[in-house]
Chains A and B, each alone.
Chain A
Amino acid sequence: MIEVRDLRRTYRGRLGRKPVEALRGVSFDVRTGQRFGIVGESGSGKSTMVRLLAALDRPTSGTISFRGIRIDELPERRLKFLRDELQIVFQDPMGSLDPRMRVRDIICEPLKRSGNREERLHELLDAVGLPQDAASRYPHQFSGGQRQRISIARALAPHPKVLIADEPVSALDVSVRAQILNLLAELVERYDLTLVFVSHDLSVVRHVCDTVAVMRRGEIVELGDVEQVYQEPSHLYTRELIAAAPTLRAALARFQEG
């Protein structure tokens, strides 16, 4: 479905600062139906990766193919197919929804001017578990979790084949994270989606993905089956990542030491 080859992205340094190499030679494949996780701490190049996958930014070098078509150099007017087939759920449930638009218009944004918008809207609200009367309200009237449902509904609107989730639960309360993750997993299942899930938290990725790529400073340091990576991390950095995640056992151990 997606092929990434030796992808590099360097941001020009501003006012005497050094250029930032956000990605330095990343290659991976995402197969149809796969649930592909990308894990790394902030600054590892995850967000840059998301923008490049969605052709919202251009790589400095390297290639990205979507269904065998190079998308890294296509002009916007020839990316229509991608805009329908690949959608993104963003991290910030407030910042990714226009505060001045009603939920109806937000969800229908990716839809063309077609007759059955109302019907589709109805379906989508249903699919993400929002009440029908949500359509005429504004984003600020919803909680973080509900807003992320709106965001998911918008992403599903054009019947995409690939869903990119960019830290979809990082900004949410722990109590609603599981709900949103389960919803995502369920929707991926129901609509046969290919999922690219980006997070800084390996345990969250483990929850929804089958494959994971661990990124560090713009490079993939480890790539493989999520359980295998989680149980037997081969790279030191992956071990650190796993150790850094707060677990009950670790907390107790620290408590006993102290």
Chain B
Amino acid sequence: MTTAAMKRRTPTLTVGAILVGLVVLLAVMSFLWTPHDPTRVDAAVRLLGPTGDYLFGTDKFGRDLVSQIMVGARTTLYVGVVAVGVAAVIGTPLGILAAMGPRWLGEFVMRVNDLVLAFPALLLAIMFGAVFGASTLTAMIAIGIATVPSFARIARSGTLQVMSTEYVLAARAAGRSRFAIAHRHVLPNVAGLLIVQSSVSFAIAVLAEAALSFLGFGTRPPTPSWGRMLQESQELLAVQPRLAIVPGIAIAIAVLGFNLLGDGLRDRLDPRLAGRR
């Protein structure tokens, strides 16, 4: 398949990859160069509109918006990767175990799951912040743990579905061990579901980080974060909507990008769909 044909067939994947690529590019670039120091407070240039020097203008402390967005991209990626990573790494094996293991174990895992699910994610993050000290990392581990049940549930239902197929019966008749079946048949067949769940969870984590930063349990100032930029813009929303629109668009792009990428990857990874479209 040529690159051109690939793009025409999977616009979702391409658009998603471009948007996510943009966020990653901003984050990587911010290590090397930003137009201004994103944390430098300068009363002389506060609340400037977009100019040649300050492309998106400055905030109430005179900090450059473009530079903050660039460095904030790091926080966003960090947040998503940690939260989704924690959730997927713990939740997926738990879900598969709950479906393939003995019945009592499955029941036990799913009841504990329900318990965690009933606990509000933000409350958990605030508790973690209070106990371990507020930081982006503790907040995101807490969000990750709160997201474990979604992964466990999806992995479990996917696994149950796979386990009821005749190809698993055939694998058993071929003398494959449970572990081999989980590895060779179950994982590849539930991967698509998990990827979609990851992209959704990623978006939720980015929003959760914004909410937590607002409450003072997320990213601590002066580290730039899109969520906190949004929160800081609040009091000036009527006079300077630009301060909310810029980080808002950045969050929207990241969330949309990851959702599209997840959808596109799921379709691409499925050999049944790869040939069609």
Tell me if B166 counts as interface (CB < 8 A to partner A): yes
| B166–A91 touching, CB < 8 Å | yes
A98 within 8 A of partner (CB): yes
Contact: B271 with A100, CB < 8 Å?
yes
Asked if residues B173 and A88 are in contact (CB atoms below 8 Å), the reply is yes
Interface residues of A in 91-120 (CB under 8 A from B): 91-92, 95-101, 109-110
Pair B166/A95 contact, Cβ less than 8 Å: yes
Provided the pairs A90-B169, A96-B167 are in contact, do residues A140 and B174 lie with their beta carbons within 8 angstroms? no
Can you name the residue of chain B whose Cβ is closest to the Cβ of A166?
B166
| Chain A residues whose CB sits within 8 angstroms of the CB of B171 once the complex forms | 98, 109
**Residues in B whose Cβ lies below 8 Å from that of A101:** 184-185, 188
Q: Which one, B174, B188, B275, contacts A110 given CB within 8 A?
A: B174
Asked whether B174 lies within 8 Å of A99 as measured between CB atoms, the reply is no
Say yes or no for A83: interface residue by CB 8 A criterion: yes
Smallest Cβ-Cβ distance to B172: which chain A residue? A56
| Per-position binary interface string of chain A over residues 135-164, scored 1 when its CB falls under 8 Å from any chain B CB and 0 otherwise | 000101100000000010010001000000
Expressed in whole angstroms, the Cα–Cα distance for A151 and B166 within the complex equals 11
A contact residues around B271 at 8 Å (CB): 99-100, 138, 140
A44 to B185, CA, bound (A): 30
Known contacts A90-B166, A100-B271, A140-B271, A84 near B188 by CB under 8 Å: no
Q: How far is the CA of A138 from the CA of B173 in the complex (A)?
A: 21
**Chain B interface bracket (under 10, 10 to 19, 20 to 34, 35 or more):** 10 to 19
- Distance in angstroms between the alpha carbons of A154 and B188 in the assembled complex: 20
Q: Give which listed residue, A80, A83, A97, contacts B173 with CB less than 8 A.
A: A83
Q: Taking the complex as formed, is A87 at the interface, i.e. its CB lies under 8 A from any CB of chain B?
A: yes
A54 within 8 A of B: yes
A79 at the B interface (CB under 8 A):
yes
- The interface bits of chain B over 234-277 (1 if a CB of A lies within 8 angstroms of the residue's CB, else 0) are 00000000000000000000000000000000000011100100
Number of interface residues of A (CB under 8 A): 28
Chain B residue at minimum C-beta to C-beta distance from A80: B175
Q: Tell me, in angstroms, the Cα distance from A96 to B176 when the chains sit together.
A: 15
Whether A158 contacts B174 in the complex (CB less than 8 A), given A95-B165, A95-B166, comes out as: yes
| B-chain residues with CB within 8 Å of residue A87 when the two chains form the complex | 173-174
CA of A95 to CA of B166, assembled, Å: 6
Query: Is the C-beta of B170 less than 8 angstroms from some C-beta in chain A?
Result: yes
In-complex Cβ contact of A138 among B167, B172, B272 (8 A): B272
Q: Are B175 and A84 in contact (CB under 8 A)?
A: yes
Q: Which residues from chain B contact A95 at a C-beta distance below 8 Å?
A: 165-167
Query: Nearest-CB distance from B265 to chain A (Å)?
Result: 14
Subset of 19 A-B contacts with CB under 8 Å: A51-B169, A56-B169, A80-B175, A86-B173, A87-B174, A88-B170, A90-B170, A92-B166, A96-B165, A96-B167, A96-B169, A96-B170, A97-B167, A98-B167, A99-B189, A99-B271, A101-B184, A110-B173, A138-B271
A residues near B (Cβ < 8 Å) are: 51, 54, 56, 79-80, 83-84, 86-88, 90-92, 95-101, 109-110, 138, 140-141, 151, 154, 158
Other than the given A79-B175, A96-B170, A98-B184, 20 more pairs (CB < 8 A) read A56-B172, A83-B174, A88-B169, A90-B169, A92-B166, A96-B166, A96-B169, A98-B165, A98-B171, A98-B185, A98-B188, A99-B271, A100-B189, A100-B270, A100-B271, A101-B185, A138-B272, A140-B271, A141-B275, A154-B170
